[in-house]
Amino acid sequence: MSSEIYKEKLIHKGAEASLWLGYWFGKKALFKYRVPKKYRLEEIDKKIRTERTVNEAKALIKVKSYGLNVPQVFEIDIQNPTIVMKYIEGEKLKNFLKYLDNTKKEKYFKQIGIFIAKLHINGHIHGDITTSNLIITKEEKIFLIDFGLHDYSDTIEDKSVDLHLFKRVLISSHGNDYNLCFKAFIEGYKSEYEKTNKSECNQIINNIKAIETRGRYVKSEDRL
């Protein structure tokens, strides 16, 4: 690795990937390295990690072209399945949501809803929308991060599942703020999606309850 591209500090070690803070030609960068899995054959493991790294990087590049705030990809290291991307200076929404006033909460969650609607309209499923994967900068810009579970789909079901999982996160991690935040999120989502297809938007939102009713993920909760 070039002396102008280097890892400096391990900031997160997960089951799928390790995140390192460092520099890429003078720019503060995040290195996302997919770790080997010893239970897989080495050749198969390398292939899987490489494919997932490339797919995630391509998704980030594509989504950024829609004007959404996601980390800029600097480099894709195929030999050592790693994405080098811009480090986003900010705070995870999860860490300070409870300290925000209601006006700020509504503002942020409506914008998040608009972001996710744009993803869905263009056939992208994030797969892990959580308040830990939303970064708020000092300028109050919202960045969506971690596309490790990203997939491509245009089905009502997959889009509904994406929203449903976010709903579950809000209920479990931010119960006191759930009603206000999820309502604002859905308002933002509808305001954007209905510009393209109002009928499909309604189907996606209505299907959230259907998912709960049939018990695919959790027992139904009549809180939407």
- Of 110, 144, 107, residue with least CA distance to 125: 144
- Of 191, 171, 193, 173, residue with least CA distance to 182: 171
The CATH number assigned to the domain with range 5-86 reads: 3.30.200.20
What pLDDT sits at residue 224? 41
d(CA 31, CA 150): 18
Please report which residue ranges of the chain form alpha helices under DSSP H: 42-64, 93-96, 102-121, 156-173, 178-213
Ranges of the chain with pLDDT below 50? 217-224
Per-domain boundaries in the chain: 5-86, 91-213
d(CA 55, CA 31): 16
Q: Give tens-digit pLDDT for 63-77.
A: 999 999 999 999 999
What pLDDT sits at residue 220? 37
Sequence-distant (≥ 6) Cβ neighbours of residue 30 within 8 angstroms: 19, 20, 21, 22, 71, 84, 85, 86, 87, 88
Tokens of 14: 């997960």
What pLDDT sits at residue 37? 92
Q: Is residue 148 classed as helix, strand or coil in its secondary structure? A: coil
124 DSSP β-pair partners: 152
Same fold, 5-86 and 91-213: no
129, 158 Cβ separation under 8 angstroms:
no
Q: Give tens-digit pLDDT for 8-41.
A: 899 999 889 999 999 999 999 999 999 999 999 9
User: Is residue 77 among the annotated active site residues?
Assistant: no
Catalytic site residue from 45, 77, 101, 128: 128
Q: Is residue 38 exposed (0-12), middle (13-18) or buried (19+ Cβ within 10 Å)? A: exposed
The CATH number assigned to the domain with range 91-213 reads: 1.10.510.10
What pLDDT sits at residue 219? 43
What pLDDT sits at residue 213? 84
How far, in whole angstroms, is CA 192 from its chain's centroid? Answer: 18
